[in-house]
């Protein structure tokens, strides 16, 4: 099992660092799945236990100048590591004007991701700062626990409003209740609602647009024969929603939300080379 990678391009390095920062805000620990072409960051708090789950994938070619890995076995050419994303983000933070960053899987006293940051210096020799980030190696028999979450058939899919706007609305609502109701319809309307014994607050968004979800086999979850005005709603933990909105360092080009009535809210944030899915289960 071997892994080493190198980033030289500063823009790629800063972008990668922002992604790790976003993940660190969503997950205290997560799984890093390495394949030849992609990196995946996975959080699978079992949704059944009320935990949120996350699936973030990026193509290594968009970030790394060098990327070599050998998985557990030829037919299972993957590596699964458990780690604390905050630790990786802190290491990358020291690399803001680095000449290069090398990341390598090592195993001296325990398995670690070694991040070696080559900093510019006035003399001809470079300064190298290394960070060892402890990781747990996930055995092959447990890999199935970290497969991509399946998306249940949703009642409504809608584009999200500007995330900054949404964040400021949710931040104000957080002071009034621990729960928020998200509801949307197929006419591009979405409401965020708080209802307590003392107060009821609703923020309306209009003209958001609904994604055209046609699947390959043509059986799309389309709007045909459905009431475009009728709202599908789910009540979720407001802190989990705020975590997602507050953690955004990636400025997605597309952000959308799928609602399965009274069951789950599924967010998808897309940036050119990154996709982040976040699932928040509904509370009864």
One domain for residues 104 and 75: yes
Final residue of a domain: which of 99, 128, 146? 146
Torsion over CA of 41, 246, 19 and 14, rounded to 10 degrees? -160
Reply yes or no on whether the pLDDT at 223 is more than 60. no
Instruction: Report pLDDT for 220.
Output: 47
The predicted model scores a pTM of: 0.90
| Predicted confidence (pLDDT) per residue in 34-92, tens digit | 999 999 999 976 544 568 899 999 999 999 999 999 998 888 899 999 999 999 999 99
Strand order in the sheet with 136-137: 136-137, 79-83, 30-34, 38-44, 53-59, 274-281, 264-271, 254-260, 156-159
DSSP element (H, E) containing 276:
strand 274-281
Instruction: Report pLDDT for 218.
Output: 39
In a domain, 151, yes or no: no
| Predicted confidence (pLDDT) per residue in 255-283, tens digit | 999 999 999 999 999 987 899 999 999 99
One domain for residues 49 and 94: yes
Choose among 72, 71, 98, 82: nearest CA to 16: 98
One domain for residues 266 and 164: yes
Final residue of a domain: which of 146, 164, 191? 146
| Residue 95 phi, psi (nearest 5) | -105, 25
One domain for residues 50 and 130: yes
Q: Domain of 81?
A: 2-146
Q: From residue 78, give the alpha-carbon distance in Å to each of 5, 32, 70, 146, 156.
A: 15, 10, 7, 12, 35
Final residue of a domain: which of 116, 146, 176? 146
Residues above pLDDT 70, as percent of the chain: 93
Q: Report DSSP state, residue 61.
A: G
One domain for residues 131 and 13: yes
Instruction: Report pLDDT for 216.
Output: 39
Rounded Cα distance between 104 and 66, Å, is 11
Assign 219 a pLDDT band (cuts: 50, 70, 90).
Answer: very low
Interacting residues of 108 by C-beta distance below 8 A, sequence separation 6+: none
Instruction: Report pLDDT for 128.
Output: 92
Higher pLDDT, 96 or 13: 13
Instruction: Report pLDDT for 150.
Output: 80
Q: What is the mean pLDDT of the chain?
A: 90
């Amino acid at each position: 099992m071997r892994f080493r990678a190198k980033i030289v391009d500063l823009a790629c390095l800063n972008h990668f660092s922002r992604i790790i920062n976003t993940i660190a805000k969503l997950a205290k620990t997560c799984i890093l799945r390495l394949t030849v072409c992609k990196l995946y960051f996975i959080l699978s708090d079992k949704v059944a236990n009320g935990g949120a789950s996350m699936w973030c994938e990026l193509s290594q070619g968009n970030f790394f100048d060098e990327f070599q890995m050998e998985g557990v076995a030829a037919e299972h050419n993957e590596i699964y590591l458990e780690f604390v994303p905050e630790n990786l983000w802190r290491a990358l933070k020291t690399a803001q004007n680095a000449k290069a960053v090398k990341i390598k899987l090592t195993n001296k006293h325990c398995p670690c991701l070694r991040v070696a940051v080559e900093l510019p210096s006035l003399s001809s020799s470079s300064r190298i700062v290394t960070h060892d980030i402890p990781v747990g190696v996930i055995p092959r028999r447990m890999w199935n626990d970290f497969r991509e979450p399946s998306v249940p058939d949703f009642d409504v899919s809608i584009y999200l409003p500007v995330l900054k706007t949404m964040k400021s609305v949710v931040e104000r609502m957080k002071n009034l209740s621990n729960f928020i109701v998200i509801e949307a319809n197929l006419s591009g309307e979405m409401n965020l609602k708080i209802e307590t014994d003392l107060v009821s607050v609703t923020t309306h968004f209009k003209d958001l647009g609904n994604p055209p979800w046609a699947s390959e086999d043509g059986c799309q979850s389309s709007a045909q024969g459905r009431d475009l005005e009728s709202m599908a709603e789910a009540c979720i933990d407001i802190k989990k929603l705020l975590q997602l909105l507050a953690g955004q360092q990636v400025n997605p080009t597309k952000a959308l939300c799928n609602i399965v009535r009274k069951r789950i809210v599924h967010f998808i944030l897309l940036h050119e080379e990154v996709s982040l899915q976040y699932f928040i289960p509904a509370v009864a």
